Structure 1
Amino acid sequence: MTNAPSSLTSAEPVTLSEDEAEHLAEELKQQLRQGQRLAGDTQAIERMVAGLGDKRGLLRLTFAESLGSVGSAAVPALCQAMCDHENVTVRRAAAKTLTLIADKQALPHLLKALLNDDDPVVQGSAVGAMAVIGSEAVEGLLKILVDSNNTPMQTGLASWGLAFVGARAPEALREAARSPEARIRTAAIAALGDQIQNSGDDDARELLTNALQDDDEDVRAEATTLLGKLNDSQWALPLLQPNLNDESALVRKNAALSLMKLEDPVAIKALSERMTIESDDTIKPILQLAINQLHKRS
Structure 2
Amino acid sequence: MTDFQTAIDPAESDALLQTVREQMALETFNPNDSELLKKMVECMGDSRGMMRLSFAETLGSIGKPATPSLLEALAHHPNPVVRRASAKTLTLICDPVALPSLLEAFLHDEDTVVKGSSAAALAQLGEPSVPHLLEVLASPKYSENTKGHAAWALAFIGSKAKESLYREITSDSVEVRAAVVGAIAKIAREEPEEAAFNLLVNALTDAAETVRIEAASALANAAYKPAIPNLVELLHHASWESRKAAALALMKIGVSEYPPEFSVVLEPLASALNQESEAQVRQVLQLAISQIEKKSGEEEWD
Give me the TM-score of the superposition, normalised by structure 2: 0.80
Provide the residue aligned with 2:143 in structure 1. 150
Provide the residue aligned with 1:294 in structure 2. 292
The answer on 1:189 being equivalent to 2:181 is yes
3-state SS in 2 of match to 1:231: coil
User: Relative to structure 1, is the Cα distance of residues 89 and 223 closer, same or farther in structure 2, using a 3 angstrom cutoff?
Assistant: same
Provide the residue aligned with 2:259 in structure 1. none
Aligned length: 287
Q: Does the aligned pair in 2 maintain the 1:38–1:70 contact within 8 Å?
A: no
| Letter paired with 1:166 | G
Match 2:238 to one of 226, 230, 247: 247
Tell me by how many angstroms 1:270 deviates.
Answer: 0.8
Listed one character per residue, the Cα deviations across residues 69-119 of structure 1 (whole Å, up to 9, x for unaligned) are 554443343234234433333122211110122123323433344445565
Give me the TM-score of the superposition, normalised by structure 1: 0.81
User: Relative to structure 1, is the Cα distance of residues 89 and 182 closer, same or farther in structure 2, using a 3 angstrom cutoff?
Assistant: closer
Tell me by how many angstroms 1:151 deviates.
Answer: 4.8
3-state SS in 1 of match to 2:45: coil
Tell me by how many angstroms 1:57 deviates.
Answer: 4.7
3-state SS in 1 of match to 2:56: helix
Rounded Cα–Cα distance in structure 2 between residues aligned with 1:140 and 1:128: 14
User: Relative to structure 1, is the Cα distance of residues 287 and 146 closer, same or farther in structure 2, using a 3 angstrom cutoff?
Assistant: farther
Listed one character per residue, the Cα deviations across residues 224-267 of structure 1 (whole Å, up to 9, x for unaligned) are 221111123x3232231111122333322210111122234432
| Runs (5+) with no aligned partner, structure 2 | 256-261, 297-302
Q: Does the aligned pair in 1 maintain the 2:20–2:29 contact within 8 Å?
A: no
Rounded Cα–Cα distance in structure 1 between residues aligned with 2:4 and 2:55: 16
| Letter paired with 1:276 | N
Q: Name which structure has the greater RCO, CA cutoff 8 Å, separation 6+.
A: 1
Match 2:250 to one of 230, 251, 259: 259
The answer on 1:89 being equivalent to 2:87 is no
User: Relative to structure 1, is the Cα distance of residues 35 and 163 closer, same or farther in structure 2, using a 3 angstrom cutoff?
Assistant: farther
Provide the residue aligned with 2:90 in structure 1. 98
User: Relative to structure 1, is the Cα distance of residues 176 and 25 closer, same or farther in structure 2, using a 3 angstrom cutoff?
Assistant: same
Q: Identical aligned pairs, as a percentage?
A: 38
The answer on 1:129 being equivalent to 2:121 is yes
Q: Does the aligned pair in 1 maintain the 2:189–2:222 contact within 8 Å?
A: yes
Provide the residue aligned with 2:299 in structure 1. none
The answer on 1:227 being equivalent to 2:219 is yes
Provide the residue aligned with 2:45 in structure 1. 53
3-state SS in 2 of match to 1:245: coil
Rounded Cα–Cα distance in structure 2 between residues aligned with 1:185 and 1:226: 14
| Runs (5+) with no aligned partner, structure 1 | 1-9
Listed one character per residue, the Cα deviations across residues 254-292 of structure 1 (whole Å, up to 9, x for unaligned) are 101111222344322112222333354543333333233
Match 1:270 to one of 259, 268, 272: 268
User: Relative to structure 1, is the Cα distance of residues 42 and 145 closer, same or farther in structure 2, using a 3 angstrom cutoff?
Assistant: same
User: Which aligned pairs between 1:28-39 and structure 2 lie closer than 5 A?
Assistant: 28-36=20-28, 38-39=30-31
Listed one character per residue, the Cα deviations across residues 138-165 of structure 1 (whole Å, up to 9, x for unaligned) are 234345555675355x555444322221
| Letter paired with 2:30 | L
Provide the residue aligned with 2:161 in structure 1. 169
Match 1:200 to one of 178, 187, 192: 192
Tell me by how many angstroms 1:29 deviates.
Answer: 0.9
User: Relative to structure 1, is the Cα distance of residues 38 and 201 closer, same or farther in structure 2, using a 3 angstrom cutoff?
Assistant: farther
Match 1:44 to one of 20, 36, 41: 36
User: Relative to structure 1, is the Cα distance of residues 295 and 97 closer, same or farther in structure 2, using a 3 angstrom cutoff?
Assistant: same
| Letter paired with 1:150 | S
Rounded Cα–Cα distance in structure 2 between residues aligned with 1:65 and 1:136: 24
